[in-house]
Amino acid sequence: MSGAKALIKALKREKVEVIFGLPGGAIMRVYDELYDADIRHILVRHEQSAAHMADGYARVSRRAGVCMTTSGPGATNLVTGLATAYMDSSPIVAITGQVPTSMIGKDAFQETDIIGISTPITKYNMQPRDPSEIPLTVKKAFYIATTGRPGPVLIDLPKDVQDKTADMVFPDSVKIRGYNPDVQPDPSAIAKAADMLLSAERPMIMSGGGVIIANAFQELQAVAEFLQAPVVTTFKGKGSFPENHPLSLGPVGMHGHPEANKLITEADVLLAVASRFSDRSVGRFDDFIATGIKIIHADIDPSEIEKNLPVHIPIIGDVKVILTELLKVLIKKAIKKDRTKWLERVEEVKQQFRNRQDLGSKEITAPKILKKLRELLPIDTIVTTEVGQNQMWASLHFDVIKPGTFFSSTGLGTMGFGFPAAIGAKVACPNVPVVDIAGDGSFGMTANSLATSVLEKIPVIVVILNNSVLGMVAQWQRMFYNRRMIAVDLHNVPDMVKLAEAYGAQGIRVQSMDEFSKAVRLALKSDVTTVIDVPISPEENVFPFVVPGSALKDMVLA
């Protein structure tokens, strides 16, 4: 059996149903084998989008997404997508072609050291030098990508390894020395955590993206309700706790609700679940510690413990298991908490900020659009975002009701992520609406994925908050650089409606809230991708927000 045929067979054994890719000279043999395989191939127009589509597919399906490219520039174009998935712990298996083994290191045409390049931005990478290694390589790749803390794995396949034949053995399982992802939490640590939480006067829970990955929504909610502890989410954790729940304070940090930022600095015990304590979530580290808060940190990745902040009680393991065991111990030790003074304080602060919420005086503003969008979309709609002001507005004004239906590029902050990720999500979940909340600058970076969505019949909705500038940079230049505006004006080019139509998609420009509602209703019924262009003021700022490098208490309200 050839190496290429073995690869396809191994992918089938992993139950791969779809590959996002773009062929080229160094991966032709694999594509030839793919011709006869019962695996859907989705042709992209740029390899970065292939990685984002695989990422979006993985986040929704909770299985590894697969992308495939040729060597050299095809492989390097994947890098941004791999780094995005790595930062957000998303399982991708990326397959790249490579020049023949005899030419590696000789600057052959379209040769690049993708193993060396991708090492810091993948969980693992491999380059089989003999076709007989391929079955085990694939088995390892899927195992590593999807277990423990998920992440991208890359397989680099030299051309001659694809061509040559060998006797193949396809393993049913794999064991890797030194890799033990199934860590059981320490019962004594859980007992100590329960005692600390029960003795706390102002307990709070911070839910991170790992809660979504672990599908631990019900367990988190049960612990929060037992303790009557308010819940803040990191931005990646947005959607891990229903934002219409009375205990929800919404996202915390740079993109956070002011009440969440205010109240977390008043809490005495914080149960942080699957959060990596990014500066975007807790602000300046020294100031956060100075509040005197005691931290219980539950995470599957031991390297995250005390990486950024000192922790009083660490608990290592699957957070779904940890929360399940924690709830059992809490029930044994105490009765469910009732109304507390802390909750009265939480309500007071919540109302204080929500009463002063300003959606803007113009007919159309970004906050008004996002609140209306929430009203119009079914609760199971999957929402992605681009990066920039649109992302922050979505964090602040689009409530996620059904857990696990919202995601964005949070760690790397990759402009161009949202649209191809939405396409991948729609492939994984074709029967629910998928919406990308976009800015014009970010959408423009991967807008050529319109061709993929139209030709492959993957209809999604894109709502562009179009201010014709690089909005977040422009806001910073206005606020911190004395309005010395440089390199931010996009001059309203291209015309997003005509761009959508040029690709065969539906383009609609709206000038009022009524037109926006009609456009969304039309898009929800459409069997083709719809781009809704919403012109907004280039001077519109996102408030509140926490300036990078500042403390949460120093959030800028207006």
H or E element at residue 323:
helix 319-333
Considering the candidates 110, 285, 337, 372, report the single residue annotated as catalytic: 110
For 474, phi then psi, to 5°, come to: -60, -40
Residue 36 CA from chain centroid, whole number: 33
**CA 215/CA 315 separation, integer angstroms:** 18
Considering the candidates 109, 184, 307, 479, report the single residue annotated as catalytic: 109
Dihedral sign (CA 549, 551, 552, 557) = negative
| DSSP class per residue in 231-292 | EEE-STTTTSS-TTSTTEEEE-STT--HHHHHHHTT-SEEEEES----HHHH-SHHHHHHTT
The residue behind tokens 């740029």 is 46
H or E element at residue 207:
strand 203-207
Considering the candidates 140, 159, 262, 350, report the single residue annotated as catalytic: 159
**CA 245/CA 258 separation, integer angstroms:** 17
Whether 109 is catalytic: yes
* 480: number of Cβ within 10 Å: 10
For 533, phi then psi, to 5°, come to: -95, 120
Do the beta carbons of residue 274 and residue 209 sit within 8 Å?
yes
**CA 534/CA 516 separation, integer angstroms:** 8
Query: Residue 168 to residues 1, 128, 335: CA-CA distances in angstroms?
Result: 7, 13, 59
Which residue, 303, 302, 295, 299, is CA-closest to 323? Answer: 299
Beta bridge partners of 159: none
For strands 382-385 and 434-439, give the pairing: parallel
Whether 472 is catalytic: yes
Considering the candidates 5, 20, 33, 47, report the single residue annotated as catalytic: 47
H or E element at residue 394:
helix 389-397
Q: Which two tokens stand for residue 421?
A: 């990720």
Please enumerate in sequence order all residues whose Cβ is within 8 A of that of 410, keeping only pairs 6 or more positions apart, or say none.
Answer: 87, 88, 209, 234, 235, 236, 280
The three-state secondary structure class of 407 is: strand
H or E element at residue 437:
strand 434-439
First-last CA distance in the chain: 66
**CA 408/CA 421 separation, integer angstroms:** 9
Residue type, position 188, single letter:
S
H or E element at residue 439:
strand 434-439
Whether 306 is catalytic: no
Do the beta carbons of residue 435 and residue 461 sit within 8 Å?
yes
| DSSP class per residue in 132-197 | GGHHHHHHHHHHHHHSSS---EEEEEEHHHHH-B------S----TT----PPPPHHHHHHHHHHH
Q: Cα Rg for the chain, rounded, in angstroms? A: 24
**CA 117/CA 550 separation, integer angstroms:** 33
Considering the candidates 196, 204, 472, 555, report the single residue annotated as catalytic: 472
Give me the active site residues, please. Answer: 47, 109-110, 159, 472
